[in-house]
């Protein structure tokens, strides 16, 4: 157990060092030797945890996506309507803005690498498709519970994911340019208003 | 005149060569010598047009933004309502998807550089703020003409810009993942529905 904990700790130190160096100098300009020096591990220790720099990069991507996933996984709460749940999830974006501060260069590097390396593409694009499908099921449920008009769930889900990506990117690139958590909340509220089932008065 | 045309032609060849090399290998990995070789110009010819690699990079950014700007500049047409104009502009995104195909690595590099170099940050962020302000004026006009509820024009404008950025990014990263031009049209239509003035029946 102590050995495992030590191993986890080393792995975490390597990830933190890589995250900081990649953000500062970029992925290409950062060598494994520098990551080892910053993390205080030997090359042997490094390769025990990661077979390559790309593996390290993918581990960072997974770690970040797991955080988003965990925030969403709660799903619908007891007695909560779908619109209320989606608005609550919009609040997660505030955490993304806070947690992502300073990490934008790495997110961009994920996408940039994804355009050149199929393995990274799979790891980058698959989660967005998953988020879209997750929200499509949620919208479908919202239609069934009578909250939404009979919209195309996939279109609404793609809209939500695109909006979240655009808000995140702008919020990280230009944090002073707007009150992004408020914009996130209100823009998603606007979108939901557009698909809400209007009460029919007899 | 012939001399100017020749100069413009050289400048254009340098820009095209840089665009292709940056997309393929990245900005950092591309040297001015390679750009010159691909464009078939001497170093002297290069420096006549661009004082540095960064200046070349900024010229590419400006050229791309000018295209978007030109598409928007038409503004409102005679007798056109604001919602109709915005939906028409949503169609521009289809052109962005088509024109941007293969250029995503460079767009990402613009943002990535923007996080590290203040000059690039200014050139990258200023246009988004301009788009937002442009759409805010348009939404304000939509309220005045009676098309929209009395919403906060800046919130709606930020939403539109974020949505456009997110759609562009997803459309370029995962072109096969969805029918992006349709998603763009329908998602902006949904958003407009959310702020439309509902007819009040007496």
pLDDT band with cut points at 50, 70 and 90 for residue A12: very high
Strands (DSSP E) found in chain A: none
Measured between alpha carbons, how far is B161 from B72 in angstroms, rounded to an integer?
A: 13
Of A57, A24, A19, the C-alpha closest to A39 is A19
A165 and A190: one domain?
Answer: yes
B63 and B96: one domain?
Answer: yes
Counting beta carbons within 10 angstroms of the beta carbon of residue B178, is it exposed (0 to 12), middle (13 to 18) or buried (19 or more)?
A: buried
A87 and A147: one domain?
Answer: yes
Query: What DSSP string runs through B104-148?
Result: HHHHHHHHHHHTT-HHHHHHHHHHHHHHHHHHHHHHHHHHHTTSB
A18-65 residue pLDDT tens: 999 988 888 888 999 999 999 999 999 999 999 999 899 889 888 877
Q: Which residue has the tokens 């698959």?
A: A126
Q: Does any domain span residue A61?
A: yes
User: Contact B195/B160 with Cβ under 8 angstroms?
Assistant: no
Of A22, A71, A121, A153, the C-alpha closest to B115 is A22
A171 and A101: one domain?
Answer: yes
Look up the CATH number of the domain holding residue A112: 1.10.357.10
Measured between alpha carbons, how far is A187 from A165 in angstroms, rounded to an integer?
A: 13
pLDDT at A147: 95
pLDDT at A29: 84
Residues in chain A, how many? Answer: 202
Q: Does any domain span residue B200?
A: no
Residue A135 has pLDDT above 90, yes or no: yes
A173/B125 CB distance under 8 A? yes
Residue B1 has pLDDT above 50, yes or no: no
Query: What DSSP string runs through A88-129?
Result: HHHTHHHHHHHHHTTTHHHHHHHHHHHHH-HHHHHHHHHHHH
Measured between alpha carbons, how far is A154 from A140 in angstroms, rounded to an integer?
A: 9
A112/B105 CB distance under 8 A? yes
Residue B168 has pLDDT above 50, yes or no: yes
B8 and B91: one domain?
Answer: no
B106-160 residue pLDDT tens: 778 878 888 878 888 888 888 888 889 999 999 999 999 999 999 999 999 999 9
Q: Does any domain span residue B201?
A: no
B29 touches chain A (CB under 8 A): yes
CA of A190: which chain B residue's CA is closest? Answer: B194
CA of B174: which chain A residue's CA is closest? Answer: A125
pLDDT at B139: 96
pLDDT band with cut points at 50, 70 and 90 for residue A141: very high
Q: Which residues contact B189 (CB under 8 A, 6 or more apart)?
A: B87, B90
Q: Does any domain span residue B172?
A: yes
A13 and A33: one domain?
Answer: yes
Residues in chain B, how many? Answer: 202
Q: Does any domain span residue A201?
A: no
Residue B3 has pLDDT above 80, yes or no: no
pLDDT band with cut points at 50, 70 and 90 for residue B2: very low
pLDDT at A2: 43
pLDDT at A1: 42
Look up the CATH number of the domain holding residue A18: 1.10.10.60
B44 and B121: one domain?
Answer: no
A54-111 residue pLDDT tens: 899 889 888 877 777 777 766 788 889 999 999 988 887 777 777 777 778 777 877 8
A28 and A60: one domain?
Answer: no
Collapsing DSSP states into helix, strand and coil, what is residue A148? strand
Number of domains in chain A: 2
pTM comes to 0.84
Q: Does any domain span residue A81?
A: yes
pLDDT band with cut points at 50, 70 and 90 for residue B200: low
Chain B residues in contact with A159 by the CB 8 A cut-off are 163, 183, 186-187, 190-191
Among B116, B156, B192, whose Cβ lies nearest the Cβ of A105?
B116
B67 touches chain A (CB under 8 A): no
Look over chain B and give the mean of its residue pLDDT values, rounded to a whole number: 86
Mean pLDDT of B163-169: 89
B153 and B90: one domain?
Answer: yes
Quote the minimal CA–CA distance from A195 to chain B in Å. 7
Task: Report B:73-132 residues touching A (Cβ under 8 A).
Answer: 104-105, 108-109, 111-112, 114-116, 121, 124-125, 128-129, 132
Residue B92 has pLDDT above 60, yes or no: yes
A30 touches chain B (CB under 8 A): no
B75 and B24: one domain?
Answer: no
Chain B residues in contact with A156 by the CB 8 A cut-off are 187, 190
Residue B47 has pLDDT above 80, yes or no: yes
CA angle in degrees (0–180, nearest 5) for B27-B162-A88: 125
Among A112, A163, A174, whose Cβ lies nearest the Cβ of B109?
A112
Q: Does any domain span residue A9?
A: yes
pLDDT at B154: 93
Which is higher by pLDDT, A28 or B48?
Answer: B48
Q: Which residue has the tokens 């340019």?
A: A177
CA angle in degrees (0–180, nearest 5) for B168-A129-A125: 65
A152-200 residue pLDDT tens: 999 999 999 999 989 988 888 888 888 888 899 999 999 998 898 876 5
B112 and B149: one domain?
Answer: yes
Rg, chain B, Cα only = 20
The encoded tokens of residue A104 equal: 């934008």
The boundaries of the domain holding residue A120 are 55-195
Collapsing DSSP states into helix, strand and coil, what is residue B181? helix
Half-sphere exposure of B164 (CA within 13 A, CB side): 22
B58-83 residue pLDDT tens: 898 888 777 777 777 667 888 899 99
Which is higher by pLDDT, A9 or B99?
Answer: A9
B32 and B113: one domain?
Answer: no
């Amino acid at each position: 157990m102590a050995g495992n904990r030590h191993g986890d700790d080393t792995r975490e130190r390597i990830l933190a060092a890589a995250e900081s160096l990649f953000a500062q100098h970029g992925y290409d300009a950062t060598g494994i030797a520098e990551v080892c020096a910053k993390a205080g591990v030997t090359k042997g220790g490094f390769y025990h945890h990661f077979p390559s720099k790309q593996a390290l990069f993918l581990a960072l991507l997974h770690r970040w996506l797991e955080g988003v996933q965990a925030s969403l996984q709660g799903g619908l709460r007891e007695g909560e309507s779908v619109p209320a749940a989606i608005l609550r999830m919009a609040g997660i974006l505030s955490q993304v803005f806070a947690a992502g501060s300073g990490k934008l260069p790495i997110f961009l590097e994920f996408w940039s690498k994804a355009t050149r390396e199929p393995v990274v593409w799979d790891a980058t694009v698959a989660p967005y498709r998953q988020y879209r499908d997750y929200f499509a099921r949620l919208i479908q449920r919202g239609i069934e519970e009578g909250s939404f008009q009979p919209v195309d769930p996939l279109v609404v889900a793609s809209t939500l994911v695109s909006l979240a990506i655009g808000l995140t990117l702008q919020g990280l690139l230009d944090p002073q340019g707007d009150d992004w958590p408020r914009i996130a909340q209100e823009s998603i509220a606007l979108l939901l208003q557009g698909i809400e089932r209007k009460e029919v008065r007899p």
